[in-house]
């Protein structure tokens, strides 16, 4: 249905020409789900933008073809050869796209029904009331609560997950033949994610919908995809059926990604993160691009470009190792055919001893005064209507929430999108004063944050920081990354001189897995996952006592997620920092959280120790959440 043949994309940058995609070839059948996975910055989203002809102004396709098959008996169309006017008839109608960042994909000055109706009128024959009815129908299908009322809202009044669902509804309302889904479930909680994935499967059965699924969630890939392609540094390094990819990954990079999954680690032990980062793509590569990070690298890997090896069952690997005898190929650490599972760190070592010390300190802190004590927190938003937008009611987003976070402890706040998790976090860091009515108390070291003003409030901001869910919307597009990271230091730590600030920023870049040359670039030059790392570095810059982490790993791929989780645990061990960890990733919760609080419709339904709540949930809602968690399955061949 869709074929990309030796696709090559170049980007003009200050450092030179960036070869974002280098000779990419793949073919997707009608009705097939083809997953494209890999680290942030490897070229996955750029591939999607290239085939949709939506590259940024500094990007261009310099080679290859993108062929879209028509109806039976009609020849394939080369999308790269179409005029822009002809391409507009393809976008939306024949190929729909769900973008990675919903907040930047919806018109902020148009209400939800205007966004939806405009998309429906553009891509279907429906007009007026019929287009609006179609948009409402799809909002209902993707699980928007109270869709009739929410259609009159602006996008900024919706949570990240709700905006993602609106964008999915707008795309699917045109009922395209082929769908490019770039991280379609990143911002969704597990129950809505399951609902959206079921909807996509239904559309595939009914309409033969082809799906290019770009994601870092390997559990979703294992349940959805028939075939998988693994990308690294602009190239495809492995293509296989889902069964072969998850049962017997052959490339060392694929094996390392499997080991970095939180569900493959033991609680209290560091994740097996992949050292280093994806190399800059403006350089000329001599050998294998993964060789500097590969524990199994051979001398040939540094000097000779590995060929693409054809293995049984259509399995393709760009690596020297599959050419070797099995005994040699299995000498490194891997999974399945590539070797055994990664060895767990020996118990009783320095790492486990340090973690054990933290666990005891957390238990001691819990019996004393907590670092954060939230008491009867309620947040209400005014409901406005009419031409003059008079207040006609109020919406209670958070209703009487109470919880505590001890020094050095991680409390995970979980629940469905729109249940009030993010609103709770923003209220604690004093970001709701002008837009909502906040009641209750939030005591930080015994000091009520809600009563602070002026200099006292600014001093408290150094102690409490937040990592926002949407990294692009939270970064100033006019500042370079180095300036963004130094901005908070200059405001909250004025005693630091310029050289100390620069040194702190460089250290932060190393800690979160950013190359130092990234400090001179602007936010729009990065992928979604890389921007999330910038946001995390900014929150860590002033070394706060408490960090509200609003989906801090949702936009991160598996390997970077492992780096960030290891970093958060290391900082907790060294500095005693506490985390209010807002997330829908239950595997991350099981790995990092000491206690869990489950929210539903603005209230906390259940809270308790992580292990106990995960194994013996008391409420039906908690059981439903846990049952909806996608699990990495070993696909039957």
pLDDT of res. 13: 83
- Output the CA angle 584-590-596, nearest 5 degrees: 70
Determine if residue 279 is left, alpha or beta; phi over 0 gives left, psi from -120 to 50 gives alpha, anything else beta: beta
- pLDDT of residue 229 exceeding 60, the answer is yes
Residues 252-282 have pLDDT tens digits of: 999 999 888 887 666 778 888 888 778 888 8
Are 248 and 329 spatial neighbours (Cβ–Cβ below 8 Å)? no
Task: Give the burial string for 552-579 (b: 16+ CB within 10 Å, else e).
Answer: bbbbbbbbbbbbbbbbbbebbbeebbbb
Q: Given this model, what pLDDT does residue 244 score?
A: 92
Q: What is the pLDDT averaged over residues 221-234?
A: 93
Alpha helices in 271-333 (DSSP H): 299-303, 326-329
- b/e sequence 57-68, b meaning 16+ C-beta within 10 Å: eebebeebbbbb
* Phi, psi (rounded to 5 degrees) for 522: -95, 160
pLDDT tens track for 287-297:
999 999 998 88
8 A C-beta contact, residue 255 and residue 247: no
**Alpha-carbon 600 to chain mean position:** 23
Kindly report, residue by residue over 581-632, the tens digit of the pLDDT.
Answer: 998 888 889 889 999 999 999 999 999 999 999 999 999 999 988 888 887 7
Give the architecture-level CATH label for domain 351-383+394-627: 3-Layer(aba) Sandwich (3.40)
- What pLDDT does 570 receive? 84
- Reported as a pLDDT band with limits 50, 70 and 90, residue 352 is very low
Binning pLDDT at 50, 70 and 90, where does residue 322 land? low
Q: What is the predicted pLDDT for the residue at 73?
A: 63
User: Position of tokens 């009515």?
Assistant: 437
CA angle 614, 620, 626 (to 5 degrees): 35
Kind plus residue range of the DSSP H or E element containing 604: strand 603-609
pLDDT digits (tens, 9 = 90+) for 544-556: 999 999 988 876 7
Q: Report the pLDDT value the prediction gives residue 62, as an integer from 0 to 100.
A: 94
Compute the distance between CA of residue 449 and CA of residue 460 in angstroms, rounded to an integer: 8
CA distances from 549 to 139, 165, 613 (A): 28, 22, 21
Would you kindly state where each structural domain of the chain is located, as residue ranges? 2-108+171-225, 249-338, 351-383+394-627
pLDDT digits (tens, 9 = 90+) for 429-464: 999 888 899 999 999 998 999 998 888 888 888 899
Percent residues over pLDDT 90 in the chain: 38
Confidence label for 341 from pLDDT (cuts 50, 70 and 90): very low
Distance from C-alpha of 307 to C-alpha of 323, rounded to nearest angstrom: 10
pLDDT over threshold 50, residue 402: yes
* Mean pLDDT, rounded, of the chain: 84
Mean pLDDT calculated for residue range 306-331: 73
Query: Can you tell me which residue has the tokens 């620069």?
Result: 502
Contact 438, 425 (CB under 8 A): no
Neighbours of 11 (CB within 10 A): 20
CB 211 within 8 A of CB 34: yes
Q: How far apart are the C-alpha atoms of 160 and 162, rounded to whole Å?
A: 5
DSSP 221: H
pTM for this model (two decimals): 0.76
Ranges 164-178, 228-242, 447-461, 578-592, most confident:
228-242
Higher pLDDT, 87 or 189: 87
Nearest 5 degrees, angle CA 363-CA 369-CA 373?
105
Strand duo 578-582 + 390-405: pairing? unpaired
**Two tokens, residue 538:** 């900014």
Query: 151-157: which pairs have CB atoms within 8 A and are 24 or more residues apart?
Result: 151/111, 151/112, 151/113, 151/116, 152/111, 152/112, 152/113, 153/111, 153/112, 154/108, 154/109, 154/110, 154/111, 154/112, 155/103, 155/106, 155/107, 155/108, 155/112, 155/115, 156/108, 157/381
Q: How many CB atoms lie within 10 A of CB 491?
A: 12
Distances (CA, A) of 560 to 148, 484, 511: 39, 21, 11
DSSP for 97-138? EE-S-GGGTS-TTS-HHHHHHHHHHHHSS--HHHHHHHHHHH
- pLDDT higher than threshold 70 for residue 323: no
- The confidence score (pLDDT) of residue 634 equals 59
Cα–Cα distance, 388 to 124 (Å, whole number): 34
pLDDT score, position 142: 84
In this prediction, residue 82 carries a pLDDT of 93
pLDDT in tens, 70-111: 766 678 899 999 999 999 889 988 999 988 777 777 888 888
pLDDT band at 383 (very low <50, low <70, confident <90, very high): confident
Give the pLDDT of residue 356: 35
- Asked whether residue 67 carries a pLDDT value surpassing 80, the answer given is yes
Q: So what's the pLDDT on residue 53?
A: 94
Residue 340 has pLDDT above 60, yes or no: no
User: What pLDDT does 87 receive?
Assistant: 93
> Looking at residues 114-126, what average pLDDT do you find?
83
8 A C-beta contact, residue 402 and residue 375: yes
CATH class, range 2-108+171-225: alpha beta
DSSP code for 317: E
Per-residue pLDDT at 72: 63
């Amino acid at each position: 249905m869709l074929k990309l043949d030796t696709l090559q994309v170049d980007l003009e940058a200050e450092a030179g020409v960036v070869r974002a995609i280098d000779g990419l070839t793949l073919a997707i059948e009608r009705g097939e789900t083809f997953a494209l996975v890999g680290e942030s910055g490897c070229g996955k989203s750029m591939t999607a933008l290239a085939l949709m002809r939506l590259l940024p102004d500094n990007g261009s396709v310099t080679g290859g073809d993108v062929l879209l098959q028509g109806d039976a008996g009609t020849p394939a169309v080369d999308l790269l050869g179409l005029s822009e006017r002809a391409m507009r008839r393809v976008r939306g109608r024949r190929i729909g796209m769900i973008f990675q960042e919903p907040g930047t994909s919806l018109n902020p000055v148009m209400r939800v029904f205007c966004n939806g109706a405009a998309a429906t009128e553009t891509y279907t024959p429906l007009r007026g009331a019929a287009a609006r009815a179609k948009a409402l129908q799809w909002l209902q299908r993707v699980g928007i609560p109270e869709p009739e009322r929410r259609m009159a809202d602006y996008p900024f009044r919706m949570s990240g997950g709700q905006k993602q669902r609106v964008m999915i509804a707008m795309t699917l309302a045109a009922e395209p033949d082929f769908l490019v889904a770039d991280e379609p479930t990143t911002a969704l909680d597990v129950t809505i994610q399951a609902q959206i994935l079921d909807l996509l499967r239904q559309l595939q059965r009914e309409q033969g919908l082809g799906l290019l699924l770009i994601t870092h969630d390997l559990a979703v890939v294992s349940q959805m995809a028939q075939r998988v392609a693994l990308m690294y540094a602009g190239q495809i390094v492995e293509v296989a059926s889902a069964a072969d990819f998850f049962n017997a990954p052959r490339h060392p990079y694929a094996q390392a990604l499997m080991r970095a999954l939180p569900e493959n680690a033991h609680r209290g032990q560091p994740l097996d993160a992949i050292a280093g980062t994806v190399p800059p793509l403006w350089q000329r590569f001599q050998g294998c691009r993964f060789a500097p990070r590969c524990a199994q690298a051979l001398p040939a890997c540094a000097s000779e470009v590995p060929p693409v090896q054809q293995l049984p069952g259509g399995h393709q690997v760009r690596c020297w190792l599959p050419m070797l005898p099995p005994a040699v190929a299995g000498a490194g650490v891997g999974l399945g055919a590539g070797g055994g599972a990664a060895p767990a760190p020996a118990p009783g070592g320095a790492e486990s001893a340090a973690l054990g010390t933290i666990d005891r300190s957390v238990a001691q802190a819990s019996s004393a005064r907590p670092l954060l004590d939230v008491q009867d927190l309620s947040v209400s938003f005014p409901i406005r209507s009419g031409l003059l937008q008079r207040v006609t009611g109020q919406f209670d987003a958070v209703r009487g929430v109470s919880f505590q976070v001890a020094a050095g402890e991680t409390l995970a706040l979980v629940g469905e999108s729109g249940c009030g998790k993010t609103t709770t976090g923003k209220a604690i860091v004093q970001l709701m004063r002008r837009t909502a009515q906040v009641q209750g108390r939030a005591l930080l070291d015994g000091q009520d944050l809600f009563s602070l003003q002026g200099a006292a409030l600014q001093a408290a901001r150094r102690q409490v920081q937040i990592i926002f869910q949407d990294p692009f919307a939270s970064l100033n597009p006019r500042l370079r990354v180095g300036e963004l990271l130094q901005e908070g230091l200059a405001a909250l730590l004025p005693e630091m001189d310029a050289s100390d600030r620069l040194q702190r920023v460089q250290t932060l870049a190393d800690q979160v897995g950013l190359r130092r040359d990234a400090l001179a670039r602007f936010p729009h030059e990065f992928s979604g996952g890389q921007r999330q790392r910038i946001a995390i570095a900014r929150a860590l810059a002033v070394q706060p006592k408490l960090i509200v982490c609003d989906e801090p790993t949702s936009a991160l791929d598996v390997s970077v997620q492992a780096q960030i989780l290891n970093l958060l645990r290391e900082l907790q061990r060294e500095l005693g920092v506490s985390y209010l960890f807002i997330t829908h990733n239950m595997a991350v919760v099981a790995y990092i959280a000491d206690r869990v609080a489950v929210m539903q419709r603005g209230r906390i339904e259940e809270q308790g120790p992580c292990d106990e709540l995960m194994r013996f949930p008391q409420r039906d809602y908690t059981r439903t959440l846990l049952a909806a968690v996608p699990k990495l399955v070993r696909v039957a061949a």
